[in-house]
A and B are shown apart, each in its own frame.
Chain A
């Protein structure tokens, strides 16, 4: 669910984190939190990104699910590899909740490698020597596509909460306009995990003829009540921070650092598993021999989570976090089709590959199985693989050889069927 999680799951590093620097010290709560240099750079990315952008002006408004039209709007994207002559080798990567378009290049704010470089690159399962790989920052995001940190042309100030609510279908509509603008009639494949997987399912459902193959990983056709609950905790944490300023923190020159950190800490737990936490941290103490009988970060897990929270704030816009979580909460593909999920895929000629992980409790296998059964009922071509892993939801971002062999086999077979590879 998180770019750079590969690095963040390098738990050994946490042992050296000076906890006091990162502590969410309650005493600081009343002090105004000012942007750091890195934070300023992130804000810069929202309006002036290190990515190509596509601007859609008044002639091409985006009709949102909320009934509002958004115009103008901008999509920032990255691409890798070459589009072939008949534009048939394009693969769209859809990013997760706090991800971005920097899927296979160094991140402009964090300086870390792309979040899916294990999967995407020359000679990788998604081979950029063979395919044209495209990844756009979702609508509502904060790395260059129109989002709450973008300037509202009507006011000259950041949209903040004046941006209409964005849904998964809205994100996909914007991507479809980008694809059309690039002259791509059909994507060879759409692939994504978590919220990215939701976009994949939405693509395959609402733009079926434009998707030859779809890979949806660690995801579901809806957000469960428990998932909505966790998101609500995160949103309330952001909004309870006095530095949030009713969403107008950019003008106030503040950062709701504590709120977004807490939101991230809570969410991060849901991306892991109890086994992974226990194996890596147990009840180990952080830089100390015994308990301090206070509220400092005595335990390694506390220190680790605080670090996750503070680093997240540096690279993510708090209002964007509100919009992204809401988009996931609203997603319910069956509800859009009279309550019958199979109808979302009726007549689909798309080839599907659904992947889940045994220890993922955020999007458990049962959610993926529901999608697989619906695809069966719709007579669609579907592969469904559950992969044994104790690393929880974030497994999809990690080195999981079985996931790679699954995706490699699926993509190769689809490429043969589409004539991109000799059969």
Chain B
């Protein structure tokens, strides 16, 4: 379900937000790369959910506890507060009901870590404003008709949604195209223009 291309610059940021030894659920875990990283570097008790059968099979062959499932419909089977962290990396924009998914993440996890591509990035804005085309970039390589990304948002949009679901932003990081962190003290508007992707740590 995770739809970004490699290398995944958000993984290091996500890993830096996870406390060692915690219980982690990775929703849309792909082939299990992040889960494996977290197990190896943070000694987490990790579980995963992945939509694509190929991703699930690869993850399980790696020895990870991963099940085939859909973020939109299968999170309801998890108990309240079952995990310390629930991670949704580069998957939010591919869900049918992002707001519902975010609510579920915060029900299942004490904290939620969400990373997503920022549709407010200047390249995206330029593509639309100057070329009049839906943007196709290195990190968002799909055409409008075949993209799994059906719910793009900007950093500002996402901040609004966290308020709507009553989540508290504990920390946030914006990354530029090279995967470098943008200045910490910059206002949301700056991040929204220059952040190519964002990682949020949320709590209930």
Residue B67 at the chain A interface, CB threshold 8 Å: yes
Which single member of B45, B53, B67, B79 contacts A382 (CB below 8 Å)?
B67
Residues of A within 8 A of B60 (CB): 353, 383, 385, 406, 409-410
Q: Does A351 contact B (CB under 8 A)?
A: yes
Identify the closest chain B residue to A403 (Cβ): B57
B57 close to A406 (CB less than 8 A): yes
The reply on A388 being an interface residue by CB < 8 A is yes
Determine the chain B residues whose CB is within 8 A of the CB of A372 once the complex forms: 67-69
- Whether B66 contacts A383 by the Cβ 8 Å rule is yes
The minimal Cβ–Cβ distance linking A400 to chain B, given in whole angstroms, is 11
Q: Which residue of B lies closest to A365 (CB)?
A: B68
Expressed in whole angstroms, the Cα–Cα distance for A416 and B62 within the complex equals 12
Residue A408 contacts which of B47, B56, B61, B64 (CB distance < 8 angstroms)? B61
The answer to whether the Cβ of B145 comes within 8 Å of any Cβ in the partner chain is: no
Secondary structure at the B interface, as helix, strand, loop or mixed, is mixed
A107 at the interface (CB under 8 A from B): no
Q: Tell which of A191-199, A230-238, A373-381 binds the partner.
A: A373-381
Cβ A385 vs Cβ B68 within 8 A: yes
**How far, in angstroms, from A384 to B62 measured CA to CA in the complex?**
13
Interface assignment of B77: CB less than 8 Å from any CB of chain A = yes
Q: Which of B53, B67, B78 contacts A383 (CB 8 A)?
A: B67
B65 within 8 A of A: yes
Q: A384-B56, A387-B57 are contacts. A376–B63 as well, Cβ < 8 Å?
A: no
Q: Is A332 in contact with chain B by the CB < 8 A criterion?
A: no
B79 and A377 contact, CB distance less than 8 A: yes
Question: In the docked arrangement, what's the CA distance between A26 and B53, Å?
Answer: 48
Contacts of B68 in A (CB 8 A): 369, 372, 384-386
Instruction: Tell me which residues from 381 to 414 in chain A have a Cβ below 8 Å from any Cβ of chain B.
Output: 381-388, 402, 405-406, 408-410, 412-414
CB nearest to A411 among chain B residues: B63
Contact indicator B61/A384 (Cβ below 8 Å):
no
In angstroms, Cα B69 to Cα A354, docked, is: 13
B20 is an interface residue with CB less than 8 A from chain A? no
| Residue B74, interface by CB 8 Å | yes
B82 within 8 A of A: yes
Residues of A within 8 A of B79 (CB): 376-379
With both chains docked as a complex, state the minimum distance between the C-beta of B52 and any C-beta of chain A, in angstroms.
11
| Cβ–Cβ contact A383 & B64, under 8 A | yes
Assembled-state Cα–Cα distance A382/B78 (Å): 12
Count class of interface residues, chain B: 20 to 34
A381 & B77 in contact (Cβ 8 Å cutoff): no
Measured between beta carbons, the chain B residues less than 8 angstroms from A379 are 79, 82
How many A-B residue pairs have C-beta atoms within 8 angstroms? Tell me. 66
> Are A413 and B64 neighbours in the complex by a CB distance under 8 Å?
yes
A272 to chain B, nearest CB (A): 22
Give the docked Cα–Cα distance between A383 and B66 (Å). 5
From residue A364, how far is it (CB to closest CB) to chain B in Å? Answer: 14
Task: Report the bound CA distance from A382 to B77 in whole Å.
Answer: 13
B82 touches A383 (CB 8 A): no
* Residues in chain A near residue B66, CB distance under 8 A: 383-384
- Which residues of A sit under 8 angstroms from B47, Cβ to Cβ? 381-382
Within 8 A of A (CB), among B50-107: 53, 56-57, 59-69, 74, 77-79, 82
Q: How far is the CA of A372 from the CA of B78 in the complex (A)?
A: 11
Residue from B59, B64, B74, B77 with most neighbouring chain A CB atoms (10 Å): B77
Question: When the two chains form the complex, which single residue of A373, A382, A410 contacts B63, counting CB atoms closer than 8 Å?
Answer: A410
Residues of A close to B78: CB separation below 8 A = 376-377
> Smallest CB–CB gap between B41 and chain A, Å?
14
Complex Cα distance, B45 from A351, in Å, reads 12
Task: For B62, list chain A residues within 8 Å (CB).
Answer: 409, 413
Bound CA span A376–B82, Å: 9
Cβ A377 vs Cβ B63 within 8 A: no
The answer for the CA separation of A377 and B79 in the assembled complex, in Å, is 5
Q: Tell me whether A406 and B61 are in contact in the complex, defined as CB-CB below 8 angstroms, given that A376-B77, A379-B79, A386-B53 are known contacts.
A: yes
CA distance A373 to B82 in the complex (A): 14
**Interface-centre pick from A374, A406, A408 (highest chain B CB count, 10 A):** A406
Q: How far does the Cβ of B37 sit from chain A's closest Cβ, in whole Å?
A: 15
> Once the chains bind, are A413 and B63 in contact (CB under 8 Å)?
yes
Question: Distance (Å) between the CB of A87 and the closest chain B CB?
Answer: 24
B25 → A minimal CB distance (Å): 9
Distance to closest chain A CB from B180 (angstroms): 34
| Closest residue of B by beta carbon distance from A358 | B53
User: Nearest A residue to B48 by beta-carbon distance?
Assistant: A383
Nearest Cβ in chain A — how far from B69, in angstroms? 8
Q: Which of B45, B56, B61, B66 has the most chain A CB within a 10 Å cutoff? A: B61
- A174, B82: Cα distance in complex, Å: 35
Among B53, B61, B67, B69, contact of A388 (Cβ-Cβ < 8 Å): B53
Q: Which of B53, B63, B82 contacts A409 (CB 8 A)?
A: B63
Kindly list chain B residues whose C-beta atoms are within 8 Å of the C-beta of A377: 77-79
Q: Which residue of chain B lies nearest to A408 when distances are taken between CB atoms in the complex?
A: B61
Q: Given contacts A372-B68, A382-B47, A386-B68, list 9 more A-B pairs with CB under 8 A.
A: A353-B60, A376-B78, A377-B78, A383-B65, A386-B53, A406-B61, A409-B60, A412-B63, A413-B62
A-to-B contact residues, CB < 8 Å: 351, 353-354, 369, 372-374, 376-379, 381-388, 402, 405-406, 408-410, 412-414, 416
Which residues of chain B have a CB within 8 Å of any CB of chain A? 45, 47, 53, 56-57, 59-69, 74, 77-79, 82
A-B contacts, 9 listed (Cβ < 8 Å): A372-B68, A374-B77, A382-B67, A383-B64, A384-B68, A384-B69, A385-B60, A410-B60, A413-B62
- Enumerate the 3 nearest inter-chain pairs by beta-carbon distance, A residue then B residue, closest first: A413-B63, A384-B67, A409-B61
